[in-house]
Amino acid sequence: MLSIATVVGMGLALVLVFFYAPIEAEEGFLQKIFYLHVPLAIVSLCGFVLGGLMGIAHLRTRDQRWDLRSYVAIHMSLIFGLGTLITGSIWARGSWGHWWVWSEPTLVSFLIVMLLYATYQPLRFAIEDPERQARYASVFAITAGAFVPLNFLAVRLSSSYLHPRVLGSSSNLPAPMQLTFLVSLAAIALLFATLCSYELLAKRTRIMLRSRSRILGYRDGPAHLDSPRARTPSRSPRSPQPQT
């Protein structure tokens, strides 16, 4: 159901972007990148905050499922963040004539957030004990998740910028553009939710498979079932001990 809603939403968003939204007077057709770049940035930043909230839920309940959800939300936000950086660079090149402007606080702050979260996975997988790994990852997710809105606020308060301010009291987006933007935002949010649900399903299946193979006595897990070691008689409850 979620997948169908995503496909329909993405299709509708593309139709609105290219056939309904008017061409912007100053930038022309180039402004169409806005309907992709801004929703990607918003969804990615919200995903990072969501990861932090799930980290809080994990620390409160000690339920490993929250840790898994937090991990998947951050993982997916990193992918969407990468999309934001690339589409933003393309837009900047077309609009400003530069791939990147170091004096622009919005760009640099987003890069800082991305670099911060780029350390999440190495930190997580550097810890072998699963309990500690989940706990430390949750603490990181909460701290970094709190940094995201603070960072956003600091950038909003900065006085000099090239980057446009689209959302807010001074927003001057015409109604057709606003509708197209909101549909695009919903479509990207749906895509995020769908990919997160697939990733979660895949991770849960792998965890279940690993635990089942351990129950059956294959100590190395399912990845080594083809190896000669796994073919030796196991000490599983289902297979009897060789008779002496």
Cβ-contact 147, 116 below 8 angstroms: yes
Chain position carrying tokens 């006595």: 217
Of the pair 34, 140, the CB lying nearest other proteins is at: 34
Q: Applying CB under 8 A, which of residues 98, 132, 212, 219 lies at the interface with other proteins? A: 212
CA–CA separation, 163 and 133 (whole Å) = 38
177, 240, 205: which is closest to 38 by C-alpha? 177
Q: Does 2 bind other proteins (CB under 8 A)?
A: no
Cβ-contact 81, 46 below 8 angstroms: no
- Smallest separation, CB 13 to other proteins (Å): 11
Sites for other proteins among residues 35-64 (CB under 8 A): 36-37, 40
Cβ-contact 225, 238 below 8 angstroms: no
Q: Does 230 bind other proteins (CB under 8 A)?
A: yes
- Smallest separation, CB 127 to other proteins (Å): 23
Cβ-contact 80, 44 below 8 angstroms: yes
Of the pair 166, 193, the CB lying nearest other proteins is at: 166
Radius of gyration for the chain, computed over Cα atoms and rounded to the nearest angstrom: 23
Q: Does 26 bind other proteins (CB under 8 A)?
A: yes
- Binding residues (CB under 8 A) for other proteins: these are 22-34, 36-37, 40, 79, 82-83, 86-87, 90-91, 93-95, 164, 166, 172-174, 176-177, 191, 195, 198-199, 202, 205-206, 209, 212-213, 216, 218, 222-223, 225-226, 230, 234, 236, 238-240, 243
